[in-house]
Amino acid sequence: MAWTSDTQEHYWLNDKQELVCNGHAELCDRKYGNVTFLGAHDSFAFSTNPFALSRTQEVNITEQLNLGARLLQAQSHMNNGKLHFCHTSCGLFDGGSVADYLRTVKTWLDKNPNEVLTFIFTNPENISVSEVWKPVFEETGMADLAYVPPSPVMSREDWPTLREFIQSGKRVIVFLDKGADNRTNPEREYILPQFKMVWEDPYNPTDASFPCTVDRTAGPLTPTDQLYLINHNLNFDILPFFHPGFKIPDRLNTPRTHGIYSIYTHAMNCAAIMNEKNPNFVLTDFSNVGQAMAAVDFLNGF
């Protein structure tokens, strides 16, 4: 068959029709800021032991990704001179080195080239981005997949489509809650300041009705111009009469918490103050339990 401009257009159309982005062809030409993603809270803290009170997940990182999580959240701490992911402290739950974690995720991404993934990492010790975080991303190869935005602060509508992320090869978006604000070369920086672009409602919630308020954010954008994350990881306070109490993940009620009705209600509570925009991230404990992925699909219109 002779190659003509019509033939070329035919192939492009077929490519466009056949590409599946994050599991759905319909998401390919949707902007990142208009997609809802399932998130795994403290994704490193997995254990099958029900007496491990600091666990937040029952299956490992690879399985979380296989189940549909496209936001991985984790808390960092230094441990013996190396950057680790730990729950509150490394003595309470040590999830291992950040380098090993990123290698695991990179292996999965290499096998799944049509997936867009977001990291939101917390940095409570304000560990240096240039001296500690970036070298880990570079040595693991994750920096090669990380997206560098054209503007230091991106509004909700500024982000590319999922197709554009995938075709560029830069399909990992990295947010850090602390330490990424003062970037010397923003045109080259892929570790982004979370609260300038993503706000969250209250974390460690204990109210199963999930009322919504803007809890953590920073300028210059207004919340309605930012991406936003809902903390749909219900907790149980085992010391309710002592301040500040002691909260642990409410595993017993997770099937109900991860029901479509519960997640949809939480999302609508926030949409009411967000010009009816759905959340971008639904953060969950025990992501393998219940209907969390089905609820996210529902929010995306499937």
Please say if 266 is a catalytic residue: no
Looking only at the bridges linking them, the beta strands covering 235-237 and 247-249 are: antiparallel
- d(CA 66, CA 47) in angstroms, rounded, equals 17
Please say if 84 is a catalytic residue: no
Catalytic hit among 77, 87, 232, 258 = 87
Q: What is the pLDDT at residue 3? A: 39
- d(CA 88, CA 261) in angstroms, rounded, equals 31
Q: What is the pTM of this model?
A: 0.91
Segments in the chain below pLDDT 50 = 1-16
Could you list the beta-strand ranges (E) of 19-160: 37-40, 71-79, 82-86, 94-97, 117-122
* CA-CA-CA-CA torsion sign (27, 29, 35, 39): positive
Nearest to 257 by CA among 227, 240, 232, 221: 232
Q: What is the pLDDT at residue 236? A: 87
Q: What is the pLDDT at residue 17? A: 52
Q: What is the pLDDT at residue 1? A: 34
For 132, residues 6+ apart whose C-beta sits below 8 A from its C-beta are 78, 83
- d(CA 48, CA 286) in angstroms, rounded, equals 10
Looking only at the bridges linking them, the beta strands covering 71-79 and 117-122 are: parallel
Q: What is the pLDDT at residue 182? A: 72
Q: What is the pLDDT at residue 10? A: 36
* 91-99 CB contacts, 8 Å cutoff, 24+ apart: 92/54, 93/45, 93/52, 93/54, 93/55, 95/42, 95/44, 95/45, 95/46, 96/44, 98/74, 98/136, 99/136, 99/139, 99/140
